[in-house]
Amino acid sequence: MPAPRLRTTPLPGIGVQYELTTRRQDTLSVIAHRDGRRTLNVHHDEDPDSAGLSLPLTAGEALSLTDALLPGHNNPNLLHTSDFGLLAERVVITGPSYWNGRTLGETHMRTETGASIVAVMRRSHAIPSPGPDFRMRGGDTVIVIGTREGVDGAHAILERT
């Protein structure tokens, strides 16, 4: 049996939706809101508006659920940025994005927001610490770290079409 695929859909101004279709053809989705909240939904057919369950979770509740689903994830060597007032979030560069084909330096990210781009996920590999001359492409997932305000500013810049 092939491994399940997790589909990711950017929700501009909201966050990101992750969807997993089970072997029974139920769809489990999580909406990761930019403010840290999560909404867990279960759909029993093709219509996402027909959710059999919709459960809003706070950031703390979502973390507790993660502990229950993946108990080994709490490695003491991992940086839990929220402990320091920092967040790490993903921003997907879409095909029609203004930034498709442009460099990271052109965003003026750190100057404008104080947030830093710490990695870019492209296809099946990561590009850690990309420099200002790194050229973004549609489909790239940019990893941004900063304060809530800085990360929100990064979303506003990178989600430009």
CATH assignment of the domain containing 126: 3.30.70.1450
pLDDT score for 140 = 92
Please check whether residue 25 lies inside any domain of the structure.
Answer: yes
Contact 31/41 with Cβ under 8 angstroms? yes
Same domain, yes or no: 112 and 87: yes
Q: Are residues 29 and 92 in the same domain?
A: no
Report residue 47: phi and psi, to 5°. Answer: -90, 110
Average pLDDT, the chain: 80
Q: Is residue 1 part of a domain?
A: no
Whether the pLDDT of residue 141 is over 80: the answer is yes
Q: Are residues 102 and 147 in the same domain?
A: yes
Looking at the structure, tell me whether residues 10 and 33 fall in a common domain.
Answer: yes
Examine the fold and report which residue of 73, 90, 119 is the final residue of a domain before the chain moves on.
Answer: 73
Residues 90 and 119 in one domain: yes
Task: Indicate the range of 69-73, 74-78, 134-138, 144-148 predicted with least confidence.
Answer: 74-78
- Domains identified in the chain, total number: 2
Strand order in the sheet with 87-92: 87-92, 141-146, 116-122, 125-128
Please write the tens of the pLDDT for every residue from 10-37. 787 788 888 887 777 778 888 888 777 8
**Measured CA distances, 115 to 13, 98, 112, 122, 158 (Å):** 18, 19, 8, 20, 12
Q: What is the pLDDT of residues 80-108, one digit of tens each?
A: 455 677 888 888 898 899 999 999 999 99
Q: How far apart are the first and last CA of the chain?
A: 39
Same domain assignment for residues 41 and 100: no
Enclosing domain of residue 17: 6-73
Question: Would the pTM count as exceeding 0.85?
Answer: no
Residues 88, 154 within the same domain: yes
Q: What is the pLDDT of residues 31-77, one digit of tens each?
A: 888 777 888 888 776 665 666 777 777 777 776 677 666 655 444 43
Residues 102 and 150 in one domain: yes
